[in-house]
Every structure is written in C-alpha cells, then in structure tokens.
Amino acid sequence: MKRKGRNLSTAELIGVSEILDAGYVKDSGERNAVFLLKPSNLSVLSEEGIRVKEEGFASALKGISELSITCLDSSEGYGENKRYLRKRLAEEKNPAVRRLLEEDVRHLGDLQVRMATAREFLLTVRPREKGEREILGYLGRVERTLEEQGTSARLANREDLKRILSVYFERNVTAENVDDVDGERWVMPDEG
C-alpha cells in the first residue's frame, strides 16, 4: 500500500500519527497511554495469595475507563535458525562439524525453553476529553492505583513504545535502540 508514491511507515499502517513521551496519538486524534505491567510470580503464591492479587488488580481496573490489556510474547522463537541448522546437519558429512551443529540446535532449544515464559503485559488507557495537564495527572493516579493494589506498573515512554512495536512487528527483542525511520542511523548527512 502506498500513499503519494511512497511506502507507508509502520505508524501510518496502524493508524498512529504521533508517538509521544507518554503514549501515542491515533490518526483520529484519540490519545492513548500505555503502561508496562510486571506481574507477580504467581507460581510461588498460595491460592489465597493469588486470589488477593486478582481482586486487587480487578479493583484497580474498575476505576479506569476506556482501557485494553495486551499480552505480548517477548521472546524469539528461533524456528528459522533451528530449521537451517537441521538442514545443514542432514547434509554435513564431517563428524566434528555435525557435533557443533547438534550443539547449536540444542543451545537454541534451551534458549527457547528458558524464554517461553517471557511475556510483557500492556495496559492501554484512553483518557478522553482531557487537557494535557489533566491527562498527566490522570495517568499518575492510574499508576498509583495499580501500584497500591500490588501491580508493578510504569508509563511507557517513547523508546518503550518503539521497542514494543519492534517486538510485535519484527519479533526483534534484542534491539537496544530502535530507529524512528528504518536505517536512519546509517544515512550520512550530505557534506556538500
């Protein structure tokens, strides 16, 4: 899909007109803020402890209008890498190289198992009909409410949002910095 003879950016494709330090603005003008949630390790809590956590989280959410929750898989699958290594393994005749390829496949499998529970939870809040100062105050109250109920939460900043989009669209969980425009760091300014 092209607009005026050029390829669309990811932001244009998903209807985002601007990424802010405290959220993003959709093409419709709707402002959205995203909180990064860190769930407790529920596997170490008793049944009663889990119930208390669930009730606290539900209570916190009741006070927030216009929200959605997203769970992202924050790990790479290594499927392509493992297929390639298995193909090479089937073709390889040298026993020493075969052993190395087998170790690589095993290593990627171990990584995949360790990262299988790497999840990221996002809470998107749509503060309607509020001015900039009111929005920031409202978002601060949302964050405090979540924290008071035992949910670790923080407002996602611009870099967080770019990282989340790179995980979602590229499955890239290793990038430390994400360019606003793909490849922009490699473009040299015209000296002439």
Query: In tens digits, what is the pLDDT along the chain, a chain of 192 residues?
Result: 444 556 767 677 778 888 877 788 888 888 888 888 876 666 677 888 888 888 888 888 887 778 888 776 655 667 788 889 999 999 999 999 999 999 999 988 877 766 655 567 888 888 876 677 788 888 888 888 888 877 888 888 888 887 777 766 665 545 555 555 556 666 667 765
* Single pTM value for the model: 0.61
Q: Do 13 and 66 lie in a common domain?
A: yes
Residues 53 and 17 in one domain: yes
Residues 17 and 68 in one domain: yes
Same domain, 131 and 64: yes
Residues 132, 83 within the same domain: no
User: Considering its fold, how many domains does the chain have in total?
Assistant: 2
> Which domain range does residue 40 map to?
8-73+119-170
> Is the same domain home to 55 and 101?
no
Q: Is residue 192 part of a domain?
A: no
Residues 69 and 83 in one domain: no
Are 67 and 151 in the same domain?
yes
Distance CA 142, CA 119 (A): 22
Q: Do both 59 and 150 map to the same domain?
A: yes
Quickly count: other Cβ atoms within 10 Å of residue 162's Cβ.
19
Pair 93, 151 in one domain: no
Asked if residue 184 belongs to a domain, the reply is: no
**Is residue 23 a part of any domain in this protein?**
yes
Same domain as 99, residue 41: no
> Does some domain include residue 183?
no
**69 and 125 belong to one structural domain:** yes
